[in-house]
């Protein structure tokens, strides 16, 4: 008589799932909860408090009637909104609009240029492809400060022939920002494009699609998460950029971005105007916060999808 495979060797093999570990059965109830669950909540709360503490101090300074950081209390007794009203005496809303236009426009154009470069490096084969990738990577090793003097002189010379894009113009700063994160975003997007099956490209070519149609109608819709991540990172970097803006925008108050404008606002009375400065910083943080809230479902997938292949 043939033996049942589950009883071969005198041992019965069960198809039931293996028993799971239940921490509730190990030791006293309070000790069990703290050992397996409680410390996780503690670490999470400490991390949240550490992240929110700077924002809390900025909020205190914005609501403090003393308009200083030293006069702010951990639990404020007197709250005022005069610091927010004081922003109307400046070009604050013009600075905020300039930052949104320059940073937002540059992030969108940079995202599209990076996507085209990444598609070429990921899908096309041409002479100098490997050298081009390595060159883009090596250029990122040099600090941006090394190029500030050269960019300044270049815009001064360009302004003599084309004043609209020369020194002291927002359009000139916009053009400079276009190349800021092009290399990093190209490598980031290339890793994502490498995970998209090439069979999609081949089947589209069989149907007569060109490289441009494949890029626009197939690659871009599938690469939406990495496009969002690249655009968001570029926007945050450019929105908060200070060094290049302070060098290239000149002295006109109406041409300043939010970062340079707020710095000029407190320059004459640095120790006494922290309240309006903090109020402006809080309002200026809202665009980035809203972008994170609306685009958060794309961020994790966009950052991790191209990490295993590049």
- Determine whether 115 is exposed, middle or buried from the number of CB atoms within 10 Å of its CB (0-12, 13-18, 19+): buried
Is 102 a residue whose pLDDT tops 90?
A: yes
Better-scored residue on pLDDT, 90 or 239:
239
Distance CA 189, CA 117 (A): 9
3-state secondary structure of 140: coil
Pair of tokens at residue 146 = 């090394």
Tokens 């069979």 -> residue: 199
| 1 to 4, 228: CA distances (angstroms) | 9, 66
Residue 310, pLDDT score: 44
Is 98 a residue whose pLDDT tops 90?
A: yes
Q: Do 176 and 248 touch, CB atoms closer than 8 A?
A: yes
Number of Cα atoms under 13 Å in the Cβ half of residue 279: 25
Residue 305, pLDDT score: 57
pLDDT band at residue 8 using 50, 70 and 90 as cut-offs:
very low
Domains of the chain from N-terminus onward? 24-80 (no CATH), 86-304 (1.10.3720.10)
Q: Do 250 and 168 touch, CB atoms closer than 8 A?
A: yes
List pLDDT tens digits, range 120-176: 898 888 888 888 888 888 888 887 788 888 889 999 999 899 888 889 899 999 999
Distance CA 21, CA 7 (A): 27
Q: Do 207 and 182 touch, CB atoms closer than 8 A?
A: no
What average pLDDT score do residues 14-33 get? Answer: 57
List pLDDT tens digits, range 259-308: 998 887 666 554 567 788 888 889 999 998 898 888 877 776 665 655 55
Residue 179, pLDDT score: 77
List pLDDT tens digits, range 39-54: 888 898 999 999 888 8
List pLDDT tens digits, range 182-220: 778 888 888 888 888 888 888 888 888 888 888 888 888
Is 11 a residue whose pLDDT tops 50?
A: no
Is 93 a residue whose pLDDT tops 80?
A: yes
List pLDDT tens digits, range 214-260: 888 888 888 888 898 888 888 988 999 998 998 899 888 888 999 99
What average pLDDT score do residues 61-80 get? Answer: 71
What average pLDDT score do residues 76-87 get? Answer: 81
> Which H or E run contains 129?
helix 129-139
Better-scored residue on pLDDT, 17 or 194:
194
What average pLDDT score do residues 79-93 get? Answer: 85
**What is the pTM for the complete model shown?**
0.78
Residue 68, pLDDT score: 63
pLDDT band at residue 101 using 50, 70 and 90 as cut-offs:
very high
Tokens 């990093």 -> residue: 184
Q: Round the average pLDDT of the chain to a whole number and report it.
A: 81
Residue 139, pLDDT score: 82
Q: Do 23 and 36 touch, CB atoms closer than 8 A?
A: yes
Residue 5, pLDDT score: 47
Is 71 a residue whose pLDDT tops 60?
A: no
């Amino acid at each position: 008589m043939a033996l049942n495979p589950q009883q071969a060797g005198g041992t019965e093999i069960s198809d039931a799932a293996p028993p799971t570990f239940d921490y509730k059965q190990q030791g006293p109830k309070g000790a069990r909860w703290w050992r397996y669950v409680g410390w996780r909540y503690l670490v999470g709360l400490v991390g949240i408090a550490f992240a929110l503490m700077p924002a809390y101090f900025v909020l205190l300074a914005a609501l403090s009637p003393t308009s200083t950081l030293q006069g702010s209390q951990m639990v404020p007794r007197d709250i005022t909104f005069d610091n927010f009203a004081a922003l109307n005496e400046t070009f604050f809303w013009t600075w905020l609009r300039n930052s949104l236009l320059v940073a937002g426009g540059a992030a969108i154009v940079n995202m599209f240029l990076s996507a085209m470069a990444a598609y070429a490096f990921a899908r096309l084969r041409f002479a100098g492809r490997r050298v081009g990738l390595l060159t883009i990577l090596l250029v990122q090793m040099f600090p941006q400060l090394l190029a500030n003097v050269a960019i300044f002189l270049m815009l001064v010379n360009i302004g003599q022939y084309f004043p609209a894009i020369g020194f002291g113009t927002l359009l000139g700063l916009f053009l400079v920002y276009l190349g800021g994160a092009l290399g990093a975003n190209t490598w980031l997007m290339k890793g994502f494009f490498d995970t998209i099956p090439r069979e999609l490209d081949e089947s589209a070519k069989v149907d007569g699609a060109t490289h441009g149609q494949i890029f626009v109608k197939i690659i871009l819709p599938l690469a939406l998460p990495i496009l969002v991540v690249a655009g968001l990172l570029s926007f945050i970097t450019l929105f908060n950029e200070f060094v290049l803006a302070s060098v290239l925008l000149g002295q006109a108050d109406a041409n300043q971005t939010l970062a340079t404008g707020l710095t000029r606002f407190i320059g004459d009375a640095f120790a006494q105007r922290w309240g309006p400065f903090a109020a402006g910083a809080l309002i200026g943080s809202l665009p980035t916060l809203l972008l994170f809230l609306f685009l958060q479902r794309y961020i994790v997938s966009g950052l991790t999808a191209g990490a295993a292949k590049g």
